[in-house]
Amino acid sequence: MIGTSSGTSHNRSRKKKEQCGSCPNRFSKDKRQVAAEDSDTTEVESSTDEEERWKEVARAAEIPADYYNIQKLVKYIKAGNQTATIVSLCCLKDYDLSTQINQFAISDIGGLDVLVNILECSDTKCCLGALKVLSDITLNIDIRKTIVDLDGIPLIVDILNSSMKDLKTMAAETLANVCKVRLARKYVRTCGGIPKLVDLIDIKLSILKTPRDQLSPDDLESLDMTRAGARALFTLADSKHNMEQMRKSGIVPLMAQLLKSCHIDVVIPIMGTVRKCSSEPKFQLAITTEGMIPDIVSHLSSENTELKMEGSTAIYKCAFDGTTRDLVREAGGLEPLVTIIKDKNVRENKPLLRGATGAIWMCAVTDANVKVLDQLRTVNHLVALLNDECDEVLTNVTGAISECVRFQSNREQLRQAGGLPAMVSLLNSSHAPLLENLAKGLKECAEDPDSMRILEDLDAVRLIWSLLKNPTTRVQAHAAYAICPCVRNANDSAELVRSLVGAMELVVGLLKSKDIMVLSAVCAAIATIAQDQTNLAILTDLKVIYKLADLVQTTDDLLRMNLAAAVAACACFGNNTEELGRLRTVTPIVTYMTSDNPLVHRSTAMALEKLSMDPQNCITMHQSGVVPFLLECIGSTNKELQLAAAGCLRNIRELALRAEEYLLKIDDD
Amino acid sequence: MTSIVEMPRANLEEALPPWMKIDWSDEVLHDIYRDWGTYYSRRRRENFALHYLNKALALEPTDHMTLYKRCQSKRKAAQMLGALDDSRAAAKLARSKDGEEKAIINLDICDVLYELNQFENSKAEMHNNMRVFIGNKRKSFEQRQLVVDGVIKDVTGEAMSAFFTKNLKTVSIVHDLIKERERVDNRPLWKRLKEQGKCDVQSIPEVPEEMLSPMEIARRKRAFNIFHQSYINDSWIDVLFMKMLCKNPNLLLPQCKESSYFLQQLSSKQYEIVRKFMKMLQSRSPLYLVNYLKYGNKAMSDKYREAYLFRVQYQTHRNMNHALKEIRALRKAKKVQQLAKFVEELMGTYVVLKTARVMCWKFEFLNEVYNTMALTLAEQLRVPKGFTPYGSNAILKLLRLPVERVKDFVPVTFGDRAPEPEGNDPATTRAKRLTARLEHRMVFAKYSIEKCYLLHQISQSYLDQGRHSECTYNARKAIKESKNCNSNLWKFLSVVQIVKANAILHKLEQTKEALEDALPIAHFLKSSELILFIENCMACNTEDSINKRATLMQARRVSKSESVATHSLVSGQDVDSQGG
């Protein structure tokens, strides 16, 4: 007899003793510890106080007749025999189990326990019926948690071993719902469910490419099973560990195959899985290698909004790699992306807009892609989106603009489109990623003299300078980088810097930061500000050389490059050269020449040339073994590097020569 | 400088060379001038070569090959900056004309930069050209790059480290001097002088002449020789000869107004060219590198140096002994003038160049020599036999001063700044030269006894020249200096100098005071001869005082009688007028 009280108690006692073969230590772990271990996912789903209040309100309302009818059916399942159970389960399907009141009808009478217990029986019809009911009611968050607490996951995973496709399909559908609970995702992985789910999506390409109405019943079953598996995997992909398990199980080529499908209901979940997995570098490489980009691009032109959102977001996440960006361009993906952003009808669809703008942003990192985007007048479309209310969208838009305006033609286009005032007005935002991209974009615009005039009129320099006070280090860094072209290209820039109250104190103060990127950017800013002698005097009074001297022991190439540039700029005032030598900066700076970065060599050579104005520094450099590095730099293709290295070496050599002439005093006769 | 002179028009038909009689076109003339320039350049007659090449370029300024040839010629004449300008201009013209780089011209740029001692810039140019040219053209740059790299590595190698370690202070001094020299201060001179705390009234400030010690002068001469020997071996004597020619009065005769200027320009320019080439050699291989390579083994070099110094010390010791023997012999023979000359030559030319390392008993030697000299001078202060303090100029005879050279007292007119008349006789010239030499030695004298000697000799020299005030001034300085070395003998001799100066001028009271100062010193020296001498001088001075006083009394009586006679004559005239 199935579902009786005594039977249930007996089954519970037996269940406590036996363990699932896939997770032998399941019962020995505290659930809270298990939950804490699975901390890679960022998705948190739980009941809130509002939902509890809603439940009370729902309960307080008039209970419909279906409530009691459903409870009767559950009782029949509990008390009835196998036939009665099957009939009852079929009757339950006649009700709308997606409504919460009906779901409560089942849970309030203990129906969940009965359904979970049915999964252990050998009768496939009963199991199938139970799974059908569970797949409907597990849309409820609380029911999902209850299923997990009742140890339903191992039972469902075991059903995946069945030879019946419909049974596996329903099991996968159920898992697709239940695994939205974080603990459930953990259980599926530990019970070995992921490889089984991956096997579900292994289907013939011919079935995928054949319209549904032309498929045989068996192929339809296979397709349904694949869709269910894809949905389950999509849910499981919220966990980083699950992603890795999926990759090891060979999901990548299967995903590539499914993307070629003509069945939208299959492509959507698998595209979502691709989108989630694209955050991982290994998946990014695999996606590129398996040639998924053209298939993803092909779906960008789909009429299905969700599919476009998933596809564009996937490209957004994958396009960190230059090869991927090139593949997107070669597959013609830029055009549909631009089409999406210029469509006014999708302005309210923030996920889609976020995905499309993000994809354009990433693709714009490649110069060749920018050229294509220019032909599509992308900058103008992006400027139109600067009025959007969503910070994420604005972040992506400004990021895309910042990449496009690396080219002079786009700077002019942005200026003509009126984008500069909009960007400057966004500087008042408090969203750090947005401010970061704004700083990057305005930095590029400041390189253009005409744009710089507009920025000066908009008082953008002061606003950019104020970003240095932002608590986010990346914002500070990009703001500091943006200061460089502003100071360099502004009219009467020296006076402009002095007119900003506390500006140089703020810049020098950031030299105490612990972030390498901030320090590097600030050094670049100091190198630019110090081009004016008066400002250099002020910086010297602020003891900038002492702060720079504290940083010379760094091993980061970017910081080395900018630090050397700052030293080169500051060394020429007063006795800063001697003071820098006294602060023992020469030897560490000489070691910068061991870097493989030519840019580091250039700025280091410039710094050494300035430092070599002091005789003691020349001697220290020579003792530090700078000559071979300088000789190598003289042969460089960079003119500045050549001149700086030659100047430094000449100072060292001529110092000794002049000293010798002084000792001889032959010419004085 | 070229001696090409335009032909006079009157002899145009006869003097013009054949190719100038033909009316050539500019192109042909350009080629002719260029060929003549090339010809003279090959014969290393750069003045003529430059003259003709300049004329060729005047006709065709855009001919890059002519510019290249002029560059070659300027390089031979050590005109490196001009050569660099020409080579760069030629390269630029070649690019604009032919549309490509000329390897031979670019190679010349690298060579000129190398000869300008800009090794780093030359190396950079070579690397740039090696990226442009291929094949044999590139190989030329590669070969030169090897040379330049070798030079730079040699110059900046371990030798430089050793040099810096040894001369840290000198390096700082040199750097400060260079910075001071490069400083450009456009403020008015008075403002600058005021800031420095100097006199800001003079519009043309006096440039203080640098005084070089004899040791430094000798060191520079030796450095000059060693420097040139290191690079051009035995030919160093030729460079020295060229240097001397620049100031040789036999060559630069002022009365030869036409040739003197030309010869001066020629000698100085040629010497300057040689100096430039020597600078090139020094830059490529500094002396610190030469010495480092020559004396690579420090222990061995120190050993050889010590051995050499010991040899010099031994020879110096022998010379010292010989000098002392000579001095004693001259003193014994009472040859005061020869002794003075010998001591001056010995101490001023030889000993002054010796360090304490090679002259171990330098101080003792100085004391011995100068004390012997003082004793010899003191021995001259003797009362001759049969001398009596009576008679005119007795004190001058006693002091062995020339009597016939006594000059009349020249009255001093207040406000008259006319300088004393300068003597041009050979004796005066020699005396002035000696005075200058002694004063130069005085600047660098270290020991007090040497200063006493020098001041005494300067005083004597001024006395011989008749400059008595300077004589007494230096004598007083000598007296003051003698206190530092506790030399009563030199003090006595200096006081005697004052006595001599005052005696010549017949300043009886001042002479008396000086003698009164000298007598206690003579007593302190416990020399009966000196005491007798001083007492006789005092007697002579007293006698002169008495005679002078009698003369004054006699003169007064004569004056009084004349005054009475005049008064009587006036009174008589008044009586006659009243009676009439």
Is residue B113 situated within a structural domain?
yes
Q: Considering only CB atoms, which chain B residues are within 8 Å of A572? A: none
Instruction: Give the chain A residue whose CA is nearest to the CA of B291.
Output: A660
So what's the pLDDT on residue B19?
66
Percent of chain B with pLDDT over 90: 19
- State percent of chain A over pLDDT 90: 17
In a domain, B138, yes or no: yes
Residue A445: the pLDDT is: 92
Residue A6 has pLDDT above 80, yes or no: no
Query: Of A408-412, B181-185, B451-455, where does the model show the most confidence?
Result: B451-455
* Residue that the structure tokens 């032919």 belong to: B98
CB–CB contact A627 B152 (8 Å)? yes
CA distance A645 to A604: 9
Q: Between B178 and A477, whose confidence is greater? A: A477
Within-domain flag for B367: yes
Mean pLDDT across the stretch A29-46? 36
Place of tokens 């760094």: A554
User: Per-residue confidence at B385, pLDDT binned at 50, 70, 90?
Assistant: confident
Pick A533 or A2 by higher pLDDT: A533
User: What separation in angstroms does the CA of B64 have from each of A376, B85, B106?
Assistant: 52, 12, 12
pLDDT at B419 over 70: no
Q: What is the DSSP letter of B413?
A: P
SS3 (DSSP) at A360 = helix
Residue B83 lies in a domain: yes
Domain boundary among B127, B156, B185: B156
Which of B138, B145, B156 should one mutate to test binding to chain A, selecting the residue with the greatest count of A CBs within 10 A?
B156
pLDDT 10s digits, B483-521: 888 898 999 999 998 998 988 887 888 888 899 889 899
- The closest CB to that of A646, out of B121, B155, B173, belongs to B121
> Which residue pairs, CB below 8 angstroms and at least 24 apart, start in B82-87?
B83/B112, B83/B115, B84/B109, B84/B112, B84/B113, B84/B116, B87/B112
- Residue B492 covered by a domain: yes
- Evaluate if residue B46 carries a pLDDT over 80: yes
> What mean pLDDT comes out for the span A207-222?
82
Q: Give the distance from residue A535's alpha carbon to the nearest chain B alpha carbon, in angstroms.
A: 23
Give B278 or A128, the one with higher predicted confidence.
B278
Name the average pLDDT for chain B. Answer: 83
Q: Residue A625's pLDDT is what?
A: 93
Tell me whether residues A659 and B174 touch, CB distance under 8 A.
yes
| B378-397 average pLDDT score | 79
Average pLDDT of chain A is 81
- Please tell me the predicted confidence (pLDDT) of residue B257: 77
Q: Is B386 contained in some domain?
A: no
Q: How would residue B396 be classed by pLDDT, with cut points 50, 70 and 90?
A: confident
Residues of A in contact with B121 (CB under 8 A): 646
Question: Which position has the higher pLDDT, A359 or B255?
Answer: A359
Tens of pLDDT, residues B13-38: 557 777 666 777 888 888 889 898 99
Cβ distance B155 to A622 less than 8 Å, yes or no, reads no
Question: Which residues in chain A have Cβ-Cβ distances shorter than 8 Å to B218?
Answer: none
Least confident of A132-136, B136-140, B445-449: A132-136
Tell me: pLDDT of A20 over 80. Answer: no
Concatenate the DSSP letters of all residues of B445-475 into one string: --SHHHHHHHHHHHHHHHHHHT-HHHHHHHH
Instruction: Answer yes or no: do B240 and B285 share one domain.
Output: yes
Q: What is the pLDDT of residue A18?
A: 35
Q: Is the pLDDT score of B183 beyond 50? A: yes
pLDDT at B422: 52
Higher pLDDT, A264 or B514: B514
Could A622 and B164 be called an inter-chain contact, meaning their C-beta atoms sit closer than 8 Å? yes
Identify the burial level of A135 via C-beta atoms within 10 angstroms of its C-beta, where 0-12 means exposed, 13-18 middle and 19 or more buried.
Answer: buried
What are the chain A neighbours of B127 within 8 Å (beta carbons)?
634-636, 642
Task: Report pLDDT for A23.
Answer: 31
Read off the pLDDT of residues A334-350 as tens digits, 9 standing for 90 and up: 878 888 888 878 877 88
- Residue B261 sits in the same domain as residue B305: no
**Chain A residues near any Cβ of chain B (below 8 Å):** 614-616, 618-619, 622-623, 627, 631, 634-637, 642-643, 645-647, 649-650, 652-653, 655-669
Distance CA B460, CA B467 (A): 10
Tens-digit pLDDT profile for residues B535-571: 889 898 888 888 877 877 778 777 777 677 666 665 5
Whether A651 contacts A615, CB under 8 Å: no
Among A639, A663, A667, the strongest candidate for a mutation testing the B interface, having the largest count of B CBs within 10 A, is A663
Q: Are residues B533 and B435 part of one domain?
A: yes
The range of the structural domain enclosing residue B274 comes to 231-292
Which pLDDT belongs to residue A10? 34
* CA neighbor of A216 nearest in space, from A225, A208, A207: A207
Q: Who wins on pLDDT, B202 or A612?
A: A612
Residue B544, in any domain of the structure: yes
CB contact under 8 A, B120 and A659: no
CATH number, domain with residue B102? 1.25.40.10
Residues B288 and B302 grouped into a single domain: no
In the structure, what pLDDT confidence band is assigned to residue A440 with cuts at 50, 70 and 90?
confident
- Residue B476: inside a domain: yes
Neighbour tally for B292: CB within 10 Å: 20
What pLDDT shows up at residue A48? 52
User: Are residues B398 and B541 located together in one domain of the fold?
Assistant: yes
Give the confidence band of B9 by pLDDT, cuts at 50, 70, 90: very low
Residue B309, pLDDT above cutoff 90: yes
User: Which pLDDT band, with edges at 50, 70 and 90, does B423 fall under?
Assistant: low
Q: Is 80 exceeded by the pLDDT of residue B402?
A: no
Spatial distance between the Cα atoms of A480 and A445, rounded to a whole number of angstroms: 15
Q: What is the mean pLDDT of residues A457-461?
A: 87
Q: Name chain B contacts of A658, Cβ cutoff 8 Å.
A: 174, 178
- Inspect the interface and report whether the beta carbons of B223 and A665 lie closer than 8 Å: yes
Contact B288 A660 (CB under 8 A): yes
- Compare A406 and A66 and report the one with higher pLDDT: A406
Read off the pLDDT band of A400 (50, 70, 90).
very high
Q: B466 and B350, same structural domain?
A: no
Report the residue from A637, A655, A666 with minimal CB separation from B223: A666
Q: Is 80 exceeded by the pLDDT of residue A130?
A: yes
Q: Kindly state whether residues B147 and B250 are assigned to the same domain.
A: no
Residues in B touching A616 (Cβ below 8 Å): 171-172
What pLDDT does B410 receive? 58
In chain A, residues with a C-beta closer than 8 Å to the C-beta of B288 are 656, 660
Domain closes at, from B247, B275, B292: B292
Q: Measured between CB atoms, which of B163, B177, B223 is closest to A656?
A: B163
- In this model, does residue B336 exceed pLDDT 60? yes
The confidence score (pLDDT) of residue A147 equals: 82
Contacts of B227 in chain A (CB under 8 A): 664, 666
Between B314 and B206, the higher pLDDT residue: B314
Which among B117, B158, B175, B229 is the top mutation candidate for probing chain A, defined by the most A β-carbons within 10 Å of its own β-carbon?
A: B175
Does B120 contact A646 at a Cβ distance shorter than 8 Å?
A: yes
- Confidence bin at A5 (pLDDT 50/70/90): very low
Given a cut of 70, whether residue B577 has pLDDT beyond it is: no
Angstrom distance (rounded) from CA A609 to CA A565: 11
Question: Which residue, among B377, B399, B431, has the nearest Cα to B504 in the 3D structure?
Answer: B399
Same domain, B90 and B129: yes
The residue of B110, B116, B118, B120 whose CB has the most chain A CBs within 10 angstroms, and thus the best one to mutate to test that interface, is B120
> Which of A283, A208, A281, A295 minimizes the C-alpha distance to A246?
A283
B324 and B276 fall within a common domain: no
> In A, which residues are within 8 Å of B247 by CB distance?
none
Number of domains in chain B: 4
- Residue that terminates a domain, selected from B292, B310, B330: B292
| pLDDT digit string, tens, across residues A577-594 | 888 997 989 999 999 999
DSSP string, A190-252: HTTHHHHHHHHT---HHHHHS-GGGS-HHHHHHHHHHHHHHHHHHHHTTSHHHHHHHHHTTHH
Residues B29 and B149 in one domain: yes
**Chain B residues near residue A635 by CB distance under 8 angstroms:** 123-124, 127
Q: Using alpha carbons, select from A340, A429, A442 the residue that is nearest to residue A384.
A: A340
**Residue B89 pLDDT:** 94
Alpha helices in B416-527 (DSSP H): 426-444, 448-465, 468-485, 488-504, 508-525
Whole-angstrom CA distances from A426 to A393, A419, A439 are 13, 11, 10
pLDDT digits (tens, 9 = 90+) for A371-397: 888 888 788 889 898 878 788 798 999
B45, B119: one domain: yes
Ranking A115-124, A170-179, A573-582, B154-163 by mean pLDDT, the lowest is A115-124
Confidence of residue A267 (pLDDT cuts 50, 70, 90): confident
**Tokens 């590539």 identify what position?**
A256
pLDDT band at A60 (very low <50, low <70, confident <90, very high): low
Residue with the bigger pLDDT between A12 and B487: it is: B487
**Encoded tokens for B541:** 């001075």
**Min CA distance, A653 vs chain B (Å)?**
7
Residue A44 has pLDDT above 80, yes or no: no
CA distance B190 to chain A (A): 25
DSSP letter assigned to residue B187: S
Interface of B with A (CB under 8 A): 118-121, 123-124, 127, 131, 149, 152-153, 155-156, 160-161, 163-164, 167-168, 170-175, 177-178, 210, 216, 220, 223-224, 227, 243, 275, 282-283, 286-288
Q: What mean pLDDT do residues A629-642 have?
A: 89
Nearest to B156 among A615, A653, A666 (CB): A653
Q: Is A471 exposed, middle or buried (0-12, 13-18, 19+ CB in 10 A)?
A: exposed
Selected residue with higher pLDDT from A172 and B4:
A172
- Cβ A665–B220 below 8 Å, yes or no? yes
User: Degrees (nearest 5) of the Cα angle A342, A344, A347?
Assistant: 100
Residue B316, pLDDT > 90, answer: yes
Average pLDDT over residues A655-661: 87
* A622 to B161: CB separation less than 8 angstroms, yes or no: yes
What pLDDT is recorded for position B370? 93
Kindly state whether residues B435 and B554 are assigned to the same domain.
yes
Q: Quick check: A439 pLDDT over 70? A: yes
Min Cα–Cα distance to chain B from A599, Å: 18
Structure confidence at residue B192 (pLDDT)? 78
